[in-house]
Amino acid sequence: MSIWRSLQSIEQLNGNRRGTLIENLGIMFTDIGDDYVRGTMPVDTRTAQPYGLLHGGASVALAETLGSTGAAMCVDTAEYQVVGQEINANHVRAARSGLVTGTARAVHLGGRTHVWSIDIYNDAQKLVCISRITMAVIKLGALAS
């Protein structure tokens, strides 16, 4: 059974990247299942730290992109929006090249908060990073400008 309330297509998600961090880091949405959203990010000069390894912050950016996108698709966007409250990440293996692929799955979908777990793997299907993000569900327009 699908968890989505405001499902977007891969084309729509990738079309919304223009002029954002998501585009600058080369993050691409690749798959949406009944209970997950998946995307890739290159390990290249945009995402590497000075030692030539995938920057931990880039992994966190991929994790937040996938988790927040999933959370946004789980609410009625005519009434609610989601914003990040907390994110953490454990970097368990270095990546030096290729693509990393992240998959975000909901752990908790409540009325006020969502918790998502994001696993990021390298091209050899070895775990690079595991992350968890907590999202606040708020009324649309509740954020002060």
Q: Which residues are catalytic?
A: 64
Percent of the chain with pLDDT over 70: 99
Digit-coded pLDDT (tens) for 71-118? 999 999 999 999 999 999 999 999 999 999 999 999 999 999 999 999
pLDDT band at 145, cuts 50/70/90?
Answer: low
**CA–CA gap between residue 132 and residue 122 (Å, rounded):** 18
Q: Does domain 10-139 have CATH number 3.20.20.10?
A: no
- Domain extents in the chain: 10-139
pLDDT band at 11, cuts 50/70/90?
Answer: very high
pLDDT of amino acid 142: 84
How far CA 22 is from CA of 11, 16, 74, 143, in Å, comes to: 14, 9, 20, 22
SS3 content of the chain, % helix, strand, coil (to 5): 20, 40, 40
How far CA 109 is from CA of 4, 56, 137, in Å, comes to: 11, 27, 10
Digit-coded pLDDT (tens) for 120-143? 999 999 999 999 999 999 999 888
Tokens, residue 74: 């789980």
